[in-house]
């Protein structure tokens, strides 16, 4: 096996994903646990880390780096947000060292903060590292779908120029589980046509979202759509409204998607309906980004 | 006491409100119970009705009329929606008679249906009767705030020309109770300045609502707003976005508000920020509307 060079942790709200990296940041081994920040009680983060990869730590005398919510107020150590535009070099200079038992050190990557055109602050933790590993060009726009989806615009020098968060995934979940919209629904059946109908409406009518959502109720009441079609119709309304808003805020002709396959497909459908061309980010964007920050910080070395 | 003329029921999802009306629809007595459609099991509506006002029914040989969700699929008898534009006379012609024990009849007012500019159906049950009792002029626009707030535009002959529903109240409730936005909140303290800030933002940025909601998270994270200010800030964002959308859909310079006082005050603030003049609908709009429909149906007589 190639020699290990870096132990890289993607430590989010729900999951802890660990990668043992080799030369040039290649992935040697990977492990996951449901050991996210919200699952760790009483600040026992070091125990959670050792439970998943204590053997790696003991066997490989390599630096450790972590990105994600582990650097939040609820995480291991709060790392102040870095202001945009933000480069891997700036993140490397702002790594937060956390001493481990035995004299080792974990380096936590800072999240980013930006002020939007609406004058409001926006933040991310973890996605910045994925963006730096996605090989995006100057001027590229990248979407990371999820509970809180992020749209980022890149600038020269791999800088994250600006970004904005949409609550879309969480809105979908709370509306299906806790609102009247969920009452008429029968989940479980994918309905691509219902999704596309919803997405077209969301794109056209994103300026009226609080009204438009009621269409997921009336379509059921009038019998226009069956209970099995309503979840995807609502998903389309919400994702369409997100894409419509982001297009109005300057999404370019080509947009890169980075994330989980099923969700990327939904966003690709909506983006194409909005006349955008869609690219997929390369795999391993997270470990590539972690490697880039570690390299900029001098924790690892590029091989000749 | 004046002679009773009509027993009028405002029978909604949560509450059953009964009024014994006298000459010209004046209110003689009123009673309320938490006996809404969702609280009645196994279709025992007649028992719920007699529990609240069986003595009235026995003592006064007057017609009975009901408006609200009692005419829905989950109610006592489903009354088909009436298409807009819809007048009290059209509703009178479409009353659904429900026989009661002892030979009496309850007349249920139909709700309304309309197709919006987005091509989607919209519906109301109960609000149409309030609109007919609110003394609105041809061309008036009336807002009924609530869990599902309704904006209605009136035409000649007391017709409800068109309307649209906003999920605003329910969005607020599910986001506070079930989303990450609620986590940083400390409810209970009114903060008029935070509400107005939110409303200004919502008005300006209603085309980006799914993004804008995240500001209620970042304002807490950055310490810009304390936990006690966040509920009203979120309320402002949502109500502002609703008013912004409705203004873009043609809300006139003067808007009438009809509903509960505290909620009307919030809407009045947002409407004034949008440059609208605000009127309050007269009290007893519901019973006035029920009286008007009963009159058009010949159930009661106008006195000379």
> pLDDT tens digits, residue range B237-280?
999 999 999 999 989 999 999 999 999 999 999 999 999 999 99
Rounded mean pLDDT, B174-182: 96
Distance between CA atoms of residues A250 and A153, nearest Å: 9
**Joined tokens for residue B98:** 């429900």
CB contact under 8 A, A204 and B118: yes
Residues of B in contact with A209 (CB under 8 A): 206, 209-210, 241, 245
CB contact under 8 A, A122 and B219: no
Rounded mean pLDDT, B69-77: 95
Confirm if B26 and B2 have CB atoms less than 8 A apart. yes
Neighbours of A36 (CB within 10 A): 19
Nearest to B137, CA basis, from B302, B281, B10, B249: B281
Q: Which of A73, A165, A207 lies nearest to residue B245, judging by beta carbons?
A: A207
> Angle CA(B160)–CA(B165)–CA(B166) in degrees, nearest 5?
150
Q: For A127-220, where are the E strands, in sequence order?
A: 141-144, 149-155, 159-166
DSSP 8-state secondary structure symbol assigned to residue A54: H
Question: Looking at residue B188, what is its pLDDT?
Answer: 85
Confirm if B267 and B146 have CB atoms less than 8 A apart. no
Give the model's confidence band at A129: pLDDT under 50 very low, under 70 low, under 90 confident, else very high: very high
Q: Which of residues 69-88 of A touch B (CB under 8 A)?
A: 73
Q: Which residue of B has its CA nearest to A203?
A: B207
CB contact under 8 A, A206 and B208: yes
CB contact under 8 A, B170 and A148: no
Closest chain A C-alpha to B203 CA, distance in angstroms:
10
Distance between CA atoms of residues A96 and A108, nearest Å: 5
Give the model's confidence band at B162: pLDDT under 50 very low, under 70 low, under 90 confident, else very high: very high
The answer on pLDDT for B19 being more than 90 is: yes
- Indicate the average pLDDT of chain A: 96
Give the model's confidence band at B2: pLDDT under 50 very low, under 70 low, under 90 confident, else very high: confident
Residues of A in contact with B74 (CB under 8 A): none
Rounded mean pLDDT, A199-203: 98
Q: Which of B116, B121, B177 lies nearest to residue A224, judging by beta carbons?
A: B121
Residues B133-157 as b/e (b if ≥16 CB within 10 A, e otherwise) read bbebeeebbbbbbbebbbbbbbbee
Residues of A in contact with B241 (CB under 8 A): 209-210
**Phi and psi torsions of B230, nearest 5°:** -70, -40
Residues of A in contact with B204 (CB under 8 A): 118
User: What DSSP line would sit under B162-179, residue for residue?
Assistant: EEEEE-HHHHHHHHHHHS
The answer on pLDDT for A134 being more than 80 is: yes
- Chain A contact present for B166, CB below 8 A: yes
The answer on pLDDT for A247 being more than 80 is: yes
Residues of A in contact with B219 (CB under 8 A): 120-121
Q: Which residue of B has its CA nearest to A207?
A: B207
Question: Looking at residue A219, what is its pLDDT?
Answer: 97
DSSP 8-state secondary structure symbol assigned to residue A207: G
CB contact under 8 A, A205 and B118: yes
Q: Which of residues 185-204 of B touch A (CB under 8 A)?
A: 201, 204
Q: How many CA atoms lie within 13 A of B173 on its CB side?
A: 12
Question: Looking at residue A191, what is its pLDDT?
Answer: 95
- Chain B contact present for A207, CB below 8 A: yes
pTM above 0.80, yes or no: yes
Question: Looking at residue B241, what is its pLDDT?
Answer: 98
The answer on pLDDT for A270 being more than 60 is: yes
CB contact under 8 A, B221 and A121: yes
Does residue B284 sit in helix, strand or coil?
Answer: coil
Report the DSSP pairing between strands A27-33 and A16-21.
antiparallel
Does residue B203 sit in helix, strand or coil?
Answer: helix
CB contact under 8 A, B168 and A204: no
Dihedral Cα B233, B239, B243, B245, nearest 10 deg: 90
**Joined tokens for residue B25:** 């629809």
Give the model's confidence band at B50: pLDDT under 50 very low, under 70 low, under 90 confident, else very high: very high
Closest chain A C-alpha to B153 CA, distance in angstroms:
15
> Angle CA(A95)–CA(A98)–CA(A100) in degrees, nearest 5?
145
How many cross-chain Cβ pairs, A to B, lie less than 8 Å apart?
142
Here the ipTM equals: 0.94
- Look at the alpha carbons of A230, A233, A235, A237 in this order and tell me if their dihedral is positive or negative: negative
Give the model's confidence band at A188: pLDDT under 50 very low, under 70 low, under 90 confident, else very high: confident
Rg value, chain A, Cα: 21
The answer on pLDDT for A304 being more than 80 is: no
Report the share of chain A in percent with pLDDT over 70. 99
Rounded mean pLDDT, B139-167: 97
**Joined tokens for residue A120:** 């409001």
Residue with tokens 């035409």: B155
Q: Which residues contact A16 (CB under 8 A, 6 or more apart)?
A: A9, A10, A32, A33, A34, A35, A36, A48, A49, A52
Question: Looking at residue A303, what is its pLDDT?
Answer: 77
Residues B266-292 as b/e (b if ≥16 CB within 10 A, e otherwise) read bbbbbbebbebebbebeebbbbbbbbb
CA distance to A51, B119, B123, B137, per residue, from B148 (Å)? 49, 19, 11, 24
Residues of B in contact with A215 (CB under 8 A): 118, 120-121
> Angle CA(A128)–CA(A133)–CA(A134) in degrees, nearest 5?
95
The answer on pLDDT for A224 being more than 90 is: yes
- Look at the alpha carbons of B14, B18, B24, B27 in this order and tell me if their dihedral is positive or negative: negative
Residue-wise pLDDT tens digits, A52-97: 999 999 999 999 999 999 999 999 999 999 999 999 999 999 999 9
């Amino acid at each position: 096996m190639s020699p290990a060079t870096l132990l890289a942790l993607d430590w989010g709200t729900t999951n802890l994903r660990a990668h043992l990296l080799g030369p040039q940041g290649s992935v040697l081994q990977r492990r996951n646990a449901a050991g996210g920040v919200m699952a760790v009680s009483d600040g026992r983060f070091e125990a959670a880390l050792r439970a998943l990869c204590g053997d790696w730590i003991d066997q490989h005398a390599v630096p450790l780096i972590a990105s994600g919510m582990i650097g939040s107020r609820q995480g291991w150590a709060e790392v102040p947000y870095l202001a945009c535009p933000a480069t891997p070099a700036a993140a490397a200079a702002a790594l937060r060292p956390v001493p481990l038992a035995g004299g080792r050190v974990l380096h936590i990557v800072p999240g980013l903060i930006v002020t939007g055109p609406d004058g409001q602050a926006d933040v991310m933790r973890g996605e910045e590292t994925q963006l730096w590993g996605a090989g995006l060009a100057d001027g590229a726009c990248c979407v990371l779908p999820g509970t809180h989806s992020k749209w980022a615009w890149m600038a020269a020098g791999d800088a994250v120029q600006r970004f904005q968060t949409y609550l879309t995934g969480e809105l979908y979940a709370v509306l299906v589980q806790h609102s009247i919209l969920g009452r008429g629904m029968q989940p479980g059946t994918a309905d691509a046509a219902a999704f596309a109908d919803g997405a077209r409406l969301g794109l056209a009518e994103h300026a009226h979202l609080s009204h438009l959502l009621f269409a997921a109720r009336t379509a059921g009441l009038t019998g226009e759509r069956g209970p099995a079609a309503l979840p995807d119709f609502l998903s389309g309304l919400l994702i369409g409204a997100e894409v419509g808003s982001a297009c109005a805020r300057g999404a370019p002709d080509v947009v890169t998607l980075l994330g989980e396959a099923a969700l990327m497909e939904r966003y690709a459908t909506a983006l194409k309906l909005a006349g955008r061309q869609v690219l997929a980010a390369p795999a391993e964007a997270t470990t590539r980004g972690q490697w880039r920050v570690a390299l900029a910080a001098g924790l690892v070395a590029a091989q000749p």
